[in-house]
């Protein structure tokens, strides 16, 4: 069969594009080399819905950031995912740098960011008492927000899938060939024939682009390390606190997460390895020092529950590269999607789909469903509602993850919904089992048991995140029946 | 709302012993809430011996030791609920808990005994840098996998921490046929 569109990569970009394309009568498939959606950069970032004052005036990045930010409210509602406009503050701690705030403000206005305001020391301290005593003023962007990056990615993919887009996991694109007007996409799992290819491969997008185009691009994985703090610290600040930006990026922020933790990070370290998501002691120490310059009483060392790193797909010109490849008709790039890629994703989806639609001229579907019912979160329900839920499905009465109070019912939903979870991390990203204070110490054996029971995967084959990542590869002697 | 004089949260040896003692001291209205599917707490997975030397002047395994306290609770007819997770306690001692059969319910207690044991601090809480692959376990999780679930987390093992827990796990993994390369 010949597909209309092959999308490479099931991160936020690929998933947003898939969802937009699912509005049309097109045969679309998403190829993802990992076992699940949201397995690349989209799973490890600050999860801030940026207001849009950072990106250079007139850049595509600035345009899509502001559009994406504006679209996020409705999208989050439609897809039933948590999102909050908690507002961002860029904090100045050196008097001589106050003009920098004005520059940012001006850029924001030029980019079309609404409701920006420069605050005095007194005003900003009244909003955030835990800011450093050195604070001199701040830029306030009420449209800045926080989101669940996993659910944004997963929900867009689910919704695309429900509307007919296929997803193939553990499928890595290895090369391309052209047969007339048809692209033949070679993977470890066979070939896919298609009229159009969309390259949304994150840090790998340059490799794929360079296979088909003489006009080379180059992406540097720019690592960002983070510390995630216990929910006890979740109210330490209520806005997202940024330092003033530098050449390397937006700097180390301190922010509540949508789930009530406090996130501190990221660093910005250029590396070569496109899978180099290992944190380093220097990186972590660096971000602890930097965070402490703007926010006081921050016990990162004592309250951290985990640290992690994500890789920005930094293209040499620090710009999103979106468009049909001039020397490879039908091959559409969506590359260089570094921050604010998460924020921009709804707008990226719309723009890339627009390019495909202009080329393919498909008909619109009449039965497209743009809404999705999220996984029921019992902790948002009243006692009565919760009891009704447990009565209807007793699995909601069995708590599996103690730290986050996640019930078996939620885990079953995560497994059985479209594009459901098949690994511990898959469950974790969908319902947070294992994302709390003990980081899965208690619940992982139980979640393994549930995955085994529901999917028929032997426990010894259950993985943390697909591939080789099995957790308990053998039966114990006792279970083997003492043959040893 | 139900009323109890004492609500004990946690059905491990501490909670069981506290409940038994309260009962013997004349309090009848006691409820133990346990989130696991059996009483005994963490000792159920501590199948090595060395428990009970002080209290029972005998060397018992963890489950045997826990059983002594379970028996006391059974003999004294103390009420308990399994698979029941406490999710909130208010200043006025209203305990909110839930399970599959009762749903979510509240109990007014006159006193609450907290005997929930403890939680292992994961690797992340110690800020140990690096990748986050499969195969890194806290001692308790590895112990549970081997002793309760019946799975071996791996054949080649490095143990970080050489206190008694590290050594107990080194012994256990060796007995299971794994090669413990280092205890550091
Ligand atoms: C430290 C850091 C902080 C950030 N903070 C923010 C923020 O606060 N707000 C914000 O808006 N943005 C932020 N971002 C940016 C945002 O996370 C990214 O822009 C966005 O997640 C990129 O999504 P993507 O889908 O393009 O890439 P990815 O999520 O990486 O998805 C690409 C996918 O392609 C797959 N793939 C690659 N090669 C192949 C192949 N050959 N075959 C098949 N599949 C393949 C990969 O496995 C991957 O799943 C941050 C990024 C980082 C690293």
Domain positions in chain A: 378-482
Q: pLDDT tens digits, residue range A451-477?
A: 999 999 999 999 999 999 999 999 998
Q: Which residues contact A256 (CB under 8 A, 6 or more apart)?
A: A86, A146, A234, A235, A236, A237, A238, A240, A262, A263
Q: Are strands B103-114 and B2-9 parallel, antiparallel or unpaired?
A: parallel
How far does residue A202's CA lie from ligand 1's centre (Å)?
A: 5
Domain spanning B2-114, CATH class: alpha beta
Q: CA B44 to CA B140: how far, in whole Å?
A: 11
* Residue-level pLDDT at A484: 45
Report residue A482's pLDDT band, with 50, 70 and 90 as the boundaries.
low
Query: How many CB atoms neighbour CB B165 within 10 A?
Result: 16
Q: Return the percentage of chain B with pLDDT > 70, whole number.
A: 100
pTM for the full predicted model: 0.96
Q: CA B97 to CA B84: how far, in whole Å?
A: 6
Average pLDDT estimate for B57-64:
96
Residue listed under structure tokens 């003492």: A482
Window 289-318 of A: residues touching B by CB (8 A cutoff) are 301, 304-308
Q: CA B62 to CA B49: how far, in whole Å?
A: 7
**Inter-residue contact A329 to A263 (CB < 8 Å):** no
Give which of B102, B148, B151 to mutate to test A binding, by max A Cβ within 10 Å.
Answer: B151
Q: Is the pLDDT of residue A140 over 50?
A: yes
Residue A59, by phi and psi: left (phi above 0), alpha (psi -120 to 50) or beta? beta
Q: Is the pLDDT of residue A447 over 60?
A: yes
Window 22-81 of A: residues touching B by CB (8 A cutoff) are none
Nearest to B134 among A227, A387, A463 (CB): A463
Q: pLDDT tens digits, residue range A291-348?
A: 999 999 998 888 999 999 999 999 999 999 999 999 999 999 999 999 999 999 999 9
**Inter-residue contact A52 to A62 (CB < 8 Å):** yes
CA A150 to chain centre: 5
**Inter-residue contact A226 to A352 (CB < 8 Å):** no
Instruction: Tell which one of A8, A11, A66 to mutate to probe ligand 1, the residue whose CB is within 8 A of the most ligand atoms.
Output: A11
**Burial of B78 from C-beta contacts in 10 A (0-12 / 13-18 / 19+):** buried
What tokens does A108 get?
């924001």
Determine, for residues B129 and A280 on separate chains, whether the beta-carbon distance falls below 8 Å. Answer: yes
Q: Is the pLDDT of residue A235 over 50?
A: yes
* Residue-level pLDDT at B85: 96
Report ipTM (2 d.p.): 0.95
Window 421-460 of A: residues touching B by CB (8 A cutoff) are 437-442, 444-445, 448-449, 459-460
Structure letter (DSSP) for residue A297: S
Q: CA A474 to CA B97: how far, in whole Å?
A: 36
Q: pLDDT tens digits, residue range A341-380?
A: 999 999 999 999 999 999 999 999 999 999 999 999 998 9
Domain positions in chain B: 2-114, 123-183
Q: CA A414 to CA A419: how far, in whole Å?
A: 9
Query: How many CB atoms neighbour CB B2 within 10 A?
Result: 13
What residues of B are in contact with residue A476 (Cβ under 8 Å)?
Answer: 146-147, 150-152, 176
Q: Is A228 on the interface with B (CB under 8 A)?
A: yes
Report residue A481's pLDDT band, with 50, 70 and 90 as the boundaries.
confident
Nearest to B151 among A279, A281, A474 (CB): A474
Average pLDDT estimate for B22-46:
97
What tokens does A213 get?
């185009």
Q: CA B125 to CA A467: how far, in whole Å?
A: 27
Indicate whether residue A340 lines ligand 1 (CB < 6 A). Answer: yes
Q: pLDDT tens digits, residue range A238-263?
A: 999 999 998 778 899 999 999 999 99
- CA-nearest of A263, A268, A250, A222 to A141 is A250
- CA-nearest of A253, A234, A236, A49 to A138 is A253
* Residue-level pLDDT at B103: 96
CA A467 to chain centre: 21
Q: How many contacts does A have with B, using Cβ atoms within 8 A?
A: 140
Q: pLDDT tens digits, residue range A384-407?
A: 999 999 999 999 999 999 999 999
Q: CA B70 to CA A13: how far, in whole Å?
A: 56
Average pLDDT estimate for B12-32:
98
**DSSP labels, A423-455:** SHHHHHHHH-TT-STTTTTTTHHHHHHHHHHHH
How far does residue B49's CA lie from ligand 1's centre (Å)?
A: 50
Q: CA B119 to CA A182: how far, in whole Å?
A: 57
* Residue-level pLDDT at A479: 83
Please, which residues bridge with residue A408 across strands?
Answer: none
Q: Is A50 one of the catalytic residues?
A: yes
Torsion of CA B12, B13, B16, B18, to 10 degrees: -120
Q: Is the pLDDT of residue B179 over 60?
A: yes
φ, ψ for residue A278 (rounded to 5)?
Answer: -75, 130
């Amino acid at each position: 069969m010949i597909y209309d569109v092959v999308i490479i990569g099931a991160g936020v970009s690929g998933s947003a594009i898939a969802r937009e394309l699912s509005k049309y009568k097109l045969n679309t498939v998403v190829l993802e080399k990992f076992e699940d959606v949201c397995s690349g950069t989209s799973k490890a970032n600050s999860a801030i819905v940026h207001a849009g004052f950072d990106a250079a005036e007139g850049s595509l990045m600035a345009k899509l950031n502001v559009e994406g930010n504006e679209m996020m409210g409705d999208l989050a509602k439609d897809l039933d995912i948590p999102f909050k406009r908690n507002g961002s503050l860029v904090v100045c701690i050196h008097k001589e740098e106050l003009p920098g705030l004005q520059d940012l403000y001006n850029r924001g206005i030029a980019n079309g960011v609404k409701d920006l305001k420069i605050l005095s020391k007194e005003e900003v301290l009244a909003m955030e008492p835990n800011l450093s005593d050195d604070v001199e003023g701040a830029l306030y962007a009420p449209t800045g927000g926080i989101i669940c990056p996993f659910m944004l990615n997963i929900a867009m993919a689910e919704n695309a899938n429900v509307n007919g887009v296929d997803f193939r996991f553990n499928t890595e694109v290895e090369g391309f060939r052209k047969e007339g007007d048809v692209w033949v996409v070679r993977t470890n799992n066979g070939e896919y024939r298609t009229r159009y290819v969309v390259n949304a491969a994150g840090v790998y997008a340059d490799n794929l682009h360079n296979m088909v185009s003489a006009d080379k691009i180059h992406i540097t994985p720019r690592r960002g390390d983070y510390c995630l703090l216990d929910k006890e610290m979740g109210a330490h600040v209520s806005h997202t606190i940024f330092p003033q930006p530098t050449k390397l990026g937006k700097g180390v922020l301190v922010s509540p997460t949508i789930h009530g933790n406090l996130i501190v990070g990221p660093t910005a370290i250029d590396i070569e390895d496109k899978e180099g998501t290992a944190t380093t002691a220097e990186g972590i120490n660096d971000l602890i020092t930097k965070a402490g310059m703007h926010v006081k009483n921050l016990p990162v060392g004592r309250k951290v529950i985990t640290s992690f790193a994500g890789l920005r797909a930094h293209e040499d010109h620090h710009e999103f590269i979106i468009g049909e490849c001039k020397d490879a008709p039908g091959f559409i790039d969506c590359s260089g999607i570094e921050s604010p890629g998460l924020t921009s994703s709804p707008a990226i989806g719309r723009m890339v789909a627009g390019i495909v639609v202009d080329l393919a001229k498909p008909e619109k579907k009449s039965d497209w469903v743009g809404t999705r019912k999220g996984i029921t979160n019992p902790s948002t329900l009243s006692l009565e509602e919760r009891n009704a839920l447990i009565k209807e499905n007793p699995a909601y009465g069995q708590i599996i993850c103690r730290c986050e109070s996640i019930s078996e019912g939620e885990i079953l939903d995560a497994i059985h919904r479209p594009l459901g979870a098949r690994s511990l991390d898959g469950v974790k990203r969908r319902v947070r089992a294992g994302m709390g204070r003990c980081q899965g110490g208690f619940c992982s054996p139980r979640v393994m048991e549930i995955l085994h029971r529901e999917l028929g995967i032997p426990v010894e084959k259950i993985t943390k995140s697909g591939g080789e990542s099995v957790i308990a590869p053998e039966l114990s002697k006792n279970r083997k029946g003492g043959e040893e | 709302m139900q009323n109890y004089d004492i609500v004990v949260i946690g059905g491990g040896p501490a909670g069981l012993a506290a409940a038994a003692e309260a009962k013997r001291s004349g309090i009848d209205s006691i409820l133990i809430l346990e989130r696991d599917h059996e009483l005994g707490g963490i000792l159920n997975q501590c199948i090595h011996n060395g428990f009970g030397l002080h209290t029972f002047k005998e060397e018992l395994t963890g489950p045997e030791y826990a059983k002594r306290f379970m028996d006391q609770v059974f003999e004294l007819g103390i009420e308990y609920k399994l698979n029941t997770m406490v999710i909130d306690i208010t200043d006025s001692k209203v305990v909110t808990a839930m399970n599959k059969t009762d749903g979510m319910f509240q109990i007014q207690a006159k006193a609450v005994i907290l005997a929930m044991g403890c939680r292992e601090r994961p690797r992340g809480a110690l800020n140990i840098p690096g990748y986050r692959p499969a195969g890194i376990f806290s001692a308790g999780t590895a112990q549970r996998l081997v002793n309760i679930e019946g799975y071996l987390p791996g054949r080649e093992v490095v143990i970080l921490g050489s206190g008694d827990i590290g050594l107990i796990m080194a012994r256990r993994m060796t007995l299971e046929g794994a090669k413990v390369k280092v205890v550091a």
